């Protein structure tokens, strides 16, 4: 027996893992390398006279009193490109409505609208956005959806429209800068974000097909004529990831869709702590409502291979060191490949650092340990992929709404 002998069952298992990991590694690396040619950070631009009154902003709300103040403040500082700011409220009981009414006293562009009860098959957020679209002025050429937990720059609307016109986009959404505070979210949230980067690449990467389009509904600018052609938000009515669903439907209809880096224009404070991040952000991150089952499980297999397995494999190899000699070529390839992905993952912490505001963070150093949460992040997506949300944004859904997969219209 030579010192590089490997038990048959371990050799077969290693070979199976490598058959999955090597192609997955090549796919993810090709997406990461594309980032070398992308444009970084959309820069604020001032409005021009030609933009006067061209934008209607729609903000869906439901019990957002603790988070909406920075959003209202940022929107009211927007310039003359914003014709109106429609806050569509779903009967909040926590003082949200009163805060909007106070803002309206200082800025007449604010209008408070109460949406009708949810129709069958609709999820609350797309229904509120659809209601806002139907109530918006037909004189506005653009409709900008903004979430209540965001902190928009005063230059946000002007920059988006200028960019859309200059580059002929019909729809633009932005990635944002996440405000993290507590240790649990500092550890878990970056790992969840990496699942999107591994699946779709960074922002401003041209997708190869509508099914690979990404979007962020926290900031979603669309031409009015495009929304009219799509019958508003109807095609994403039952989706718990309505932003991606609608963006993919719009791309499938032949319109130009962009997903750009907006960290200089938009901040967001989404969830507090580990539990809130696990429950809230992980709930729809699988994007199952916006893709086919084949694409969903293909993406999950890819994540398992390059993000979920490397750390456990390296740790388990320590326990099986007696039967996994480093002199064996298969063992060397397995450990070398998984060590490579651990190194890449720690390096990506530096690459995504600009996507985070850690100014109020408690234990900022925990952010740099987020690669250790990668297996847990992948587990979260597998759990989410097998469940339909029963609660979302303060509403309880007794029956699963009908989902809308991307298809040409």
* Digit-coded pLDDT (tens) for 203-212: 877 787 899 9
Is residue 403, in this structure, part of any structural domain at all?
no
Is residue 164, in this structure, part of any structural domain at all?
yes
Whether the predicted pLDDT of 142 surpasses 80: yes
Is residue 44, in this structure, part of any structural domain at all?
no
Whether the predicted pLDDT of 405 surpasses 80: no
Whether the predicted pLDDT of 393 surpasses 80: no
pLDDT tier at 326, thresholds 50, 70, 90: confident
pTM attached to this predicted model:
0.91
| Alpha-carbon span 259 to 222, nearest angstrom | 12
Same domain, yes or no, for 238 and 364? Answer: no
Whether the predicted pLDDT of 360 surpasses 70: yes
Same domain, yes or no, for 144 and 257? Answer: yes
Which of these three, 273, 289, 305, is where a domain ends?
289
For residues 291-304, average pLDDT = 95
Is residue 359, in this structure, part of any structural domain at all?
yes
Query: Which pLDDT value is given to residue 206?
Result: 76
Query: Which pLDDT value is given to residue 401?
Result: 43
Same domain, yes or no, for 61 and 180? Answer: yes
Query: Which pLDDT value is given to residue 1?
Result: 41
Same domain, yes or no, for 379 and 244? Answer: no
Same domain, yes or no, for 185 and 95? Answer: yes
Q: Structure tokens of 234?
A: 């109807």
Same domain, yes or no, for 319 and 256? Answer: no
Q: What percent of the chain has pLDDT over 70?
A: 93
Domain, as residue range, for 97: 49-193+202-289
Is residue 406, in this structure, part of any structural domain at all?
no
Same domain, yes or no, for 273 and 339? Answer: no
Same domain, yes or no, for 98 and 211? Answer: yes
pLDDT tier at 387, thresholds 50, 70, 90: confident
Same domain, yes or no, for 185 and 161? Answer: yes
Which of these three, 239, 269, 289, is where a domain ends?
289
Mean pLDDT computed over every residue of the chain? 91
Same domain, yes or no, for 146 and 282? Answer: yes
Domain CATH number, residue 89: 3.90.550.10
For residues 8-34, average pLDDT = 93
pLDDT tier at 400, thresholds 50, 70, 90: very low
pLDDT tier at 407, thresholds 50, 70, 90: very low
Is residue 409, in this structure, part of any structural domain at all?
no
Q: What would the pLDDT profile of 232-242 be if each residue is shown by its tens digit?
A: 999 999 999 99
Q: What percent of the chain has pLDDT over 90?
A: 79
Whether the predicted pLDDT of 90 surpasses 90: yes
pLDDT tier at 398, thresholds 50, 70, 90: low
Same domain, yes or no, for 267 and 301? Answer: no
Query: Which pLDDT value is given to residue 203?
Result: 84
Query: Which pLDDT value is given to residue 280?
Result: 87
How many independent structural domains does the chain possess?
2
End-to-end CA distance of the chain: 65
Same domain, yes or no, for 275 and 308? Answer: no
pLDDT tier at 284, thresholds 50, 70, 90: confident
Is residue 255, in this structure, part of any structural domain at all?
yes
pLDDT tier at 392, thresholds 50, 70, 90: low
Is residue 408, in this structure, part of any structural domain at all?
no
Whether the predicted pLDDT of 323 surpasses 60: yes
User: From the CB of residue 224, how many other CB atoms can be counted at a distance below 10 Å?
Assistant: 19
| Alpha-carbon span 41 to 216, nearest angstrom | 15
Whether the predicted pLDDT of 250 surpasses 50: yes
Which of these three, 270, 289, 308, is where a domain ends?
289
Long-range contacts from 7-10, C-beta under 8 angstroms, 24+ separation: 7/323, 10/320, 10/323, 10/324
């Amino acid at each position: 027996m030579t010192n590089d002998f490997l038990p048959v069952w371990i050799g077969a298992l290693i070979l199976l893992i490598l058959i999955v990991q090597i192609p997955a590694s090549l796919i993810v690396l090709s997406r990461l390398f594309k980032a070398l040619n992308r444009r970084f950070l959309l820069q604020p631009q001032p409005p021009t006279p030609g933009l006067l009154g061209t934008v209607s902003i729609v903000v869906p709300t439901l019990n957002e009193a603790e988070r909406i103040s920075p959003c209202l403040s940022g929107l009211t500082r927007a310039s003359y490109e914003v014709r109106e700011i429609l806050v569509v409220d779903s009967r909040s009981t926590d003082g949200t409505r009163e805060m909007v009414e106070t803002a309206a006293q200082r800025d007449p562009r604010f209008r408070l609208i109460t949406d009708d009860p949810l129709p069958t098959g609709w999820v609350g957020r797309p229904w509120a956005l659809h209601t806002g679209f139907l109530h918006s002025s037909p004189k506005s050429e653009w409709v900008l959806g903004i979430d209540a937990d965001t902190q928009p720059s005063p230059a946000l609307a002007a920059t988006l429209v200028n960019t859309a016109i200059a580059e002929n986009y019909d729809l633009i959404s932005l990635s944002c800068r996440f405000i993290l505070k507590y240790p649990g979210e500092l550890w878990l949230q970056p790992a969840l974000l990496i699942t999107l980067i591994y699946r779709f690449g960074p922002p401003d990467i041209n997708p190869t097909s509508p099914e690979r389009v990404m979007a962020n509904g926290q900031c979603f600018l669309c031409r009015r004529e495009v929304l009219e052609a799509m019958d508003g938000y109807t095609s994403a009515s039952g989706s718990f990831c309505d932003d991606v669903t609608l963006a993919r439907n719009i791309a499938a209809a032949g319109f130009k869709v962009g997903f750009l880096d907006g960290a200089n224009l938009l901040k967001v404070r989404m969830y507090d702590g580990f539990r809130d991040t696990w429950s809230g952000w992980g709930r729809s991150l699988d994007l199952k409502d916006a893709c086919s089952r084949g694409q969903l499980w293909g993406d999950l297999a890819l994540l398992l291979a390059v993000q979920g397995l490397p750390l456990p494999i390296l740790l388990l190899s320590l326990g099986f060191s007696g039967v996994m000699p480093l002199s064996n070529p298969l063992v060397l390839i397995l450990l070398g490949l998984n060590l490579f992905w651990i190194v890449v993952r720690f390096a990506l912490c530096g690459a995504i650092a600009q996507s985070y505001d850690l100014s109020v963070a408690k234990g900022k150093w925990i952010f740099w340990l987020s690669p250790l949460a990668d297996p847990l992040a992948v587990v979260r997506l597998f759990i989410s992929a097998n469940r339909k949300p029963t609660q979302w944004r303060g509403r309880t859904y007794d029956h699963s709404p009908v989902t809308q997969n991307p298809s040409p219209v």
